[in-house]
Amino acid sequence: MDLLEQLNGLAAKLEVRLSQAATEAELESARVDFLGRKGRLAELMSHLRELSPEERPAFGQTANAVKQKLTAMLDARRAEQEQAAESAFLASFDPTVPGRTLWNGSLHPITLAMEEVCSVFRSMGYEIAGGPEVETDFNCFEALNMPPEHPARDMQDTLYISDKVLLRTHTSCVQVRTMMSRKPPLAVIGPGKVYRRDSDVTHTPMFHQIEGLLVDRRVTMADLRGTLTAFVRAVFGSGTRVRFRPSFFPFTEPSVEVDMSCTRCGGHGHVDGQPCRICKGSGWLEILGSGMVDPAVFSAVGYDPEEVSGFAFGLGVERIAMLKYGLTDLRMNFENDVRFLHQFPV
Ligand code: DAH
């Protein structure tokens, strides 16, 4: 057959071949067959030399035109295939279904409050101390000036594990552990879980406390006042007022309870003419218990009460968290509802 005719016939042959090429690989093999280095077009071109000089230009031009045509056919078919693949992909799912949301983790309000309190005291030079939640009777009561028959033990509803082993009812045991393992001077805070047989709207059987203890020579009530005032203002704002009320704890003498001006009414006792519901109209909120370490406690841990003095304090973390974040129900802290937990900043 005439070479020109054969050239012109290539497009029709490719047409047939493409109509059967369903996959990308089949398309590629068609390209190699027709346009590859040893393909049909190349084969026909190799006969160029056999033509007379007059025939060559026409043949060359036709070959170029055919090459362009074949290339265009292959490109069009490839585009068609890609289009079909994309349509099939889009048809395989519903693009209007909302995507999966990634939850950002956040810290629990108790953790946030705990970290904030600890960081205030750390900035004042206090070290973090700890102890186990399962404690001895000695560390929890006896060394803290509550001998077996002491009526103060009635203040605590204790969960006993055995006669002398119990779940700690307060973090004050950290005081005992610290003093028994170290020499003064020292300043520590002990955050942790405590347990009591108590469960109602305002009490949970497990809750969190932070204990503080400072022991040195000539520590006075003025140090206690200054430290705790600075602490309350660091957490609740520099305008917060603080008052110290005489109180009683077996392990401190004298003892005080510390109140601060109400976070909601600012100490006025009322909001919009109504009694404030956070402070019940008093303008004050009790925030922690404190006092000068009782000499009997120093004696129990082997410190000389004539040589050293100190102050201690204990606060409830749930209460701080509730006041700080305006929580209204203590139990929210323990229900693990992500809609609640999600509201706290990382
Ligand atoms: N341990 C006390 C309680 O659980 C709180 C407390 C009061 C701790 C006075 C202290 C303190 O260190 O000095 O109620």
Chain segment 58-90, per-residue pLDDT in tens: 888 999 999 999 999 999 999 999 999 999 998
CA 195 to chain centre: 25
Written as one letter, the residue type at 12 is: A
pLDDT bracket for residue 31 (50, 70, 90): very high
Residue found by looking up tokens 């003093």 in the block: 179
Residue 155 has pLDDT above 60, yes or no: no
pLDDT, tens only, 173-212: 999 999 999 999 999 999 999 999 888 888 999 999 999 9
Residue found by looking up tokens 């405590």 in the block: 194
Atom of ligand 1 lying closest to residue 170 CA: 4
CATH class of 109-341: alpha beta
CA of 315 to the centre of ligand 1 (A): 7
Average pLDDT over the chain reads 92
DSSP letter for 317, please: H
**Substitution site in 121, 158, 313, 320 for ligand 1 pocket (most atoms within 8 Å of beta carbon):** 313
CA of 170 to the centre of ligand 1 (A): 7
Long-range pairs of 16-23 with CB within 8 A, sequence gap ≥ 24:
18/73, 18/74, 18/77, 21/77
CA of 294 to the centre of ligand 1 (A): 12
Query: How do the domains of the chain map onto residue ranges?
Result: 3-92, 109-341
Q: How far apart are CA 233 and CA 240, in angstroms?
A: 6
**How much is the pLDDT for 268?**
94
Residue 91 neighbours by CB distance under 10 Å: 9
